[in-house]
Structure 1
Amino acid sequence: MACRISELVVEAADAERPAAFRSEVLGYVELCREDDGSIGIGPSGVGFGGPLPVLVLSPGEDPRPARARLRMDVTATDRDQDAESERLLALGAAPVDVGRTGERRRYVLADPEGNEFHLLPARPRTLPAAAPRR
Structure 2
Amino acid sequence: MACRISELVLDAADPERLAAFWSGVLGYVELGREDDGSIEIGPPDTGFGGPQPTLVLSPGTDPRPGKLPLHIDVNATDRDQDAELRRLLALGARPADVGQTGKEDWHVLADPEGNEFCLLRARIRPL
- Scaled by the length of structure 2, the TM-score of the pair is 0.49
Q: Give the number of the structure whose residues are more often strand, by fraction.
A: 1
